[in-house]
Amino acid sequence: MFAINGGASPEIHSNLSLLLRLLSDYFLKSMANNEENLEVELSEIAMSETHGENSPYFVGWKAYNEVPYNESTNPSGIIQMGLAENQVSLDLLQEYLEQNSEAGPDSSEFRETALFQDYHGLLSFRTAMAAFMERIRDGAVKFDPSRVVLTAGATAANELLTIILANPGDALLLPTPYYPGFDRDLRWRTKVKIIPIHCDSSNDFQVTRQALEAAYDSAMAMKIKVRGVFITNPSNPLGLTIQRSTIEEVLDFVTDKNIHLISDEIYSGSVFSSAEFTSVAGVLESRGNKNADRVHIVYGLSKDLGLPGFRVGTIYSYNDRVVTTARRMSSFTLISSQTQRFLAAMLSNQKFIDKYIEMNRDRLRKRYEMIIEGLRMAGIECLKGNAGLFCWMNLRPLLKKNPTREGEIELWKCILKEAKLNISPGSSCHCSEPGWFRVCFANMSEETLQIALKRILSFMERMRNSREDII
């Protein structure tokens, strides 16, 4: 590498040799370190940002998990109002277990439960699920157990349907605002796109034909193939049922465009009055099930029965090919036989189910009235709701100086930091109007909800009395 002059002294020769050895060692160590620091590559799906965990919706959860509120051990902690979980009727389920001990695991059935079962799910459970879906709709529609496909939760059902109906790069049209988790559930592993159907407060965020056409045209302009419309009825985050006339309009639209309709009805049993809910199944029956093969319903027991830990979801499709394909794919998302047996027995107990549905609806309605009144006392208006585990809160008056998404996020951070409440900003739900927030009320005790309302009242008073711009 270096030419050494033959006339150089032995000392210079020795120093140059030492320098060469040091340089050689340095380069060898550098190469070794570089090789050690090289990360093994992962798939595009694994590295994709479409998991959505950077959304304020999930960031708020992380903040809560770091300092969660506890009445005894951490009364100044963050209260979780960003989780749509139904805890108001867990005592009814516990009471059922105490009175029906035979519903638990039975040693005489252990062998049958432990060994392989039909991937389609136990017929007894599919029959019980179909009957329960009919019951929460007051028997207005009928469901065929042979069309019920079981999945490990509604999340799995929605992803499975997306895989069946759309190719990577295709799109589904979703009305805004929508549940933030759909960005993950429908897009991440499927590589399917979501095109928003922009709705606004002028008509309580109801979908219109004009908005549907605008979303469809937007996809066409981007040369994206639209495979279907995805609605949530009742709406999450609005806490509002979709009007029958709107469902009729959406059905006409998907028929005209020859695309699919997915109706996620996971909150259908959490409507405060069953008379206010119209299932797409009922609309189809009134039309003699004409063009029904493009319609698919998603349901689960996480919300209405408050059993998210059981991971029970269903796909109900009027399309034979979809049912067949979903059953083939359901082997990736099975429900344990023990869970199916337990729930089949419980859902088949008509006396208990009738009592539960009535009391759960009554309790949810009272909770809703409680939070709406508390927010009204704080000078906050909400969209008038009739279903679900949350309300849609309007804090737009606080954004007068910065009525933007950025202003909304600053307000959300302020509420998280100062009021110690985790609520979901409307922008995480892709709401086109800054200042709306989803606030959950069923995942805590009444006492905790009262504390949360006091914090909101105190926060609003500070905001009004402050002479400095907080937002």
Tokens of 236: 């999450």
Q: Are strands 79-80 and 421-422 parallel, antiparallel or unpaired?
A: parallel
Tokens of 116: 């392989």
Per the DSSP assignment, residues forming a β-bridge with 83 are none
Q: Is 423 tagged catalytic?
A: no
DSSP 140: S
Q: Is 179 tagged catalytic?
A: yes
Contacts of 355 (CB under 8 A, 6+ apart): 92
Contacts of 352 (CB under 8 A, 6+ apart): 96, 100, 346
Question: Which runs of E-coded beta strand occur in 181-225?
Answer: 193-197
Tokens of 431: 């709401």
Instruction: Please state, in angstroms and rounded to a whole number, the distance separating the CA atoms of residues 5 and 375.
Output: 89
Residue in 197, 303, 335, 356 annotated catalytic: 303
Determine what percent of the chain falls in helix, strand and coil, rounding each to the nearest 5: 50, 15, 35
Cα angle at 118 between 318 and 345, to 5 degrees? 85
Q: Is 106 tagged catalytic?
A: no
Residue in 170, 183, 185, 264 annotated catalytic: 264
Cα separation of the two ends of the chain? 65
Residue in 197, 259, 266, 297 annotated catalytic: 266
Q: Is 264 tagged catalytic?
A: yes
φ and ψ at residue 152, rounded to 5 degrees = -80, 70
Residue in 57, 64, 69, 179 annotated catalytic: 179
Residues with catalytic function: 179, 264, 266, 303
